[in-house]
């Protein structure tokens, strides 16, 4: 059995041996199950405790966790499909890719909103309860999805305008570059990424330095908030790496063509899987209240009463 990973920019296929293909798929599946299991624990903890589901901070957090779960599940499904089926119909690929793109673009926006909530809680605490209400938090989450939809759906509209309908019944190796091939899409995508990242980085930096200033004259809660915003910045940095993935792949193909297949796998782990494990670390481990309730779930009630 010969299983392959192909670069969809016109280079020949790079084929893995059966043993190597199995090892890669096992690693990916084990990592995804581990991440989703922890994230499921976070969601279960959130839903089972009123202290969390009435707090805007945790509502934004659990939205990020659900977003990560969807992203991990879809990217792992696409990874496995690339080995087992190799090619799928374009219309199926478009659905999977668009959904994955929605969740990818949700992440930096959600991080920015969480940082703003943190800033309000530390720098203007007397107005926090008035500004950060449950209703406004839900509206904010809706705006995050609407913004991502407006950003991503033009890929589909441009493809519908430039390709015949029969194109969607053809089969391709499922990547964004193969499903949405118009050069206009690439130009628009680059502009969108730059605007998103510059905007979110400006918000993160502004809030970090404001909280840093507050931490010098305030209590330990401001210092903890500063560290949390710093972790948001780290997660955003990993998100930025996702946008640079295509350039990294091109550089690897040019400089290390022999190891291209293995390099694709490493890029997938670093750019797609690793960033999705950060959310659980920020709250699942650092937040004392969440950690206390999460342990009960992860231990699967080893000592039932």
Q: What is the pLDDT of residues 219-230, one digit of tens each?
A: 556 666 667 677
Residue 175 φ then ψ, to 5°: -140, 160
Q: Could you tell me the residue ranges of all domains in the chain? A: 18-297
Whole-number pLDDT of residue 284:
64
In angstroms, rounded to a whole number, what is the distance separating the alpha carbons of residues 242 and 26? 22
18-297: CATH superfamily = Rhodopsin 7-helix transmembrane proteins (1.20.1070.10)
Please state whether 10 falls in left (phi above 0), alpha (psi between -120 and 50) or beta.
left
In angstroms, rounded to a whole number, what is the distance separating the alpha carbons of residues 226 and 241? 23
In angstroms, rounded to a whole number, what is the distance separating the alpha carbons of residues 245 and 228? 26
- The per-residue DSSP string of 119-166 comes to HHHHHSGGGHHHHS-HHHHHHHHHHHHHHHHHHHHHHHHHHHHHS-GG
- The residue ranking higher by pLDDT, 304 or 108, is 108
Whole-number pLDDT of residue 15:
62
Query: pLDDT-based confidence at 38, cuts 50/70/90?
Result: confident
Query: What average pLDDT does the segment 202-231 reach?
Result: 70
Query: pLDDT-based confidence at 193, cuts 50/70/90?
Result: confident
Of 136, 155, 68, whose CA–CA distance to 107 is shortest?
A: 68
In DSSP terms, which residues pair with 4 in a beta bridge?
15
Query: pLDDT-based confidence at 197, cuts 50/70/90?
Result: confident
- The per-residue DSSP string of 199-265 comes to HHHHHHHHHHHHHHHHHHHS-HHHHHHHHHHHHHHHHHHHHHHHHTHHHHHHHHHHH-GGGHHHHHH
In angstroms, rounded to a whole number, what is the distance separating the alpha carbons of residues 75 and 79? 6
Reply yes or no on whether the pLDDT at 8 is more than 90. no
Contact 171, 89 (CB under 8 A): yes
């Amino acid at each position: 059995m010969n299983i392959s990973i192909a670069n969809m920019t016109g280079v020949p296929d790079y084929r893995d041996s059966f043993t190597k293909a199995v090892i890669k798929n096992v690693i990916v599946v084990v990592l995804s199950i581990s991440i989703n299991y922890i994230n499921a624990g976070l969601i279960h903890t959130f839903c089972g405790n009123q202290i969390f589901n009435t707090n805007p901070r945790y509502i934004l957090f659990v939205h990020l966790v659900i977003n990560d779960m969807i992203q991990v599940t879809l990217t792992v499904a696409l990874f496995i499909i690339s080995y087992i089926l190799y090619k799928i119909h374009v219309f199926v690929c478009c659905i999977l890719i668009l959904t994955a793109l929605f969740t990818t673009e949700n992440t930096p926006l959600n991080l920015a909103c969480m940082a703003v909530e943190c800033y309000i809680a530390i720098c203007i605490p007397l107005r926090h309860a008035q500004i950060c209400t449950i209703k406004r938090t839900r509206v904010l989450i809706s705006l995050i999805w609407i913004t991502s939809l407006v950003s991503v759906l033009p890929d589909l509209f441009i493809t519908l305008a430039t390709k015949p309908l029969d194109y969607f019944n053809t089969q391709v190796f499922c990547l964004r570059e193969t499903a949405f091939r118009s050069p206009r899409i690439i130009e628009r995508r680059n502009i969108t990424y730059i605007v998103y990242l510059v905007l979110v980085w400006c918000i993160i930096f502004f809030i970090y330095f404001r909280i840093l200033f507050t931490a010098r004259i305030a209590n330990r809660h401001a210092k903890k908030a500063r560290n949390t915003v710093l972790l948001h910045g780290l997660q955003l940095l990993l998100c930025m790496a996702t946008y640079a993935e295509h350039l990294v792949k091109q550089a690897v193909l040019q400089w290390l063509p022999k190891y291209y297949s293995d390099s694709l796998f490493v890029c997938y782990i670093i750019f797609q899987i690793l960033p999705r494990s950060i959310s659980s670390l920020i709250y699942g481990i650092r937040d004392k209240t969440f950690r206390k309730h999460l342990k009960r779930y992860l231990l699967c009630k080893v000592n039932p009463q």
